[in-house]
């Protein structure tokens, strides 16, 4: 990867949320975005697509974002995972960090904050 053109994998069960996130990433200059609808697809896509940054929702059918984070980190301990969710409670934040995610962003997503988080994660 080059930091100029990172590849993103985004995962949210809501078509609308995926569309909004793709639009937001595109507006921030990130054009290479793959989107999937549940945690199972995210884990499989991570292995085949090898994205630079993963953005996962927490509450999803089939496999939730925290379980998917654990499985991706198990496969690649250096995976850059950002959790994006409307459920940013204290207990969820603890779970997210424990699972191996690098950061968390509360929905509705503030594009400027998302950009800062992405840049910060890519610098690490």
**Residue 31, exposed/middle/buried by CB under 10 A (0-12, 13-18, 19+)?**
exposed
Whichever of 53 and 109 has its CB closer to another protein, that residue is 109
- Residue 99 CB, shortest distance to another protein, in Å, is 15
Per-residue string for binding with another protein, 58-77, x by CB under 8 A?
-xxx----------------
Length of the chain: 124
From CA 117, how far away is CA 47, in angstroms rounded?
Answer: 23
Contact range with another protein by CB under 8 A, out of 1-9, 73-81, 87-95, 114-122: 87-95
Across the chain, how many H-helices and E-strands are there?
Answer: 5, 5
From CA 25, how far away is CA 17, in angstroms rounded?
Answer: 12
Whichever of 1 and 15 has its CB closer to another protein, that residue is 15
What are the residues binding another protein (CB under 8 A)?
13-17, 19, 59-61, 85-92, 106-108
């Amino acid at each position: 990867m080059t930091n100029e053109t990172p590849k993103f994998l985004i995962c949210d069960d809501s078509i609308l949320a995926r569309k909004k996130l793709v639009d937001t990433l595109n507006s921030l200059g990130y054009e290479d975005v793959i989107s999937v609808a549940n945690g199972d697809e995210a884990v499989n896509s991570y292995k085949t697509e090898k994205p630079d940054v993963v953005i996962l929702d927490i509450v999803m059918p089939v496999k939730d974002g925290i379980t998917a984070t654990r499985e991706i980190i198990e496969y690649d301990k250096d995976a850059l995972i950002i959790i994006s969710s409307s459920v940013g409670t204290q207990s969820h934040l603890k779970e997210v960090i424990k699972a191996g995610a690098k950061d968390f962003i509360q929905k509705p997503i503030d594009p400027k904050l998302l950009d800062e988080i992405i840049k910060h994660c890519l610098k690490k």
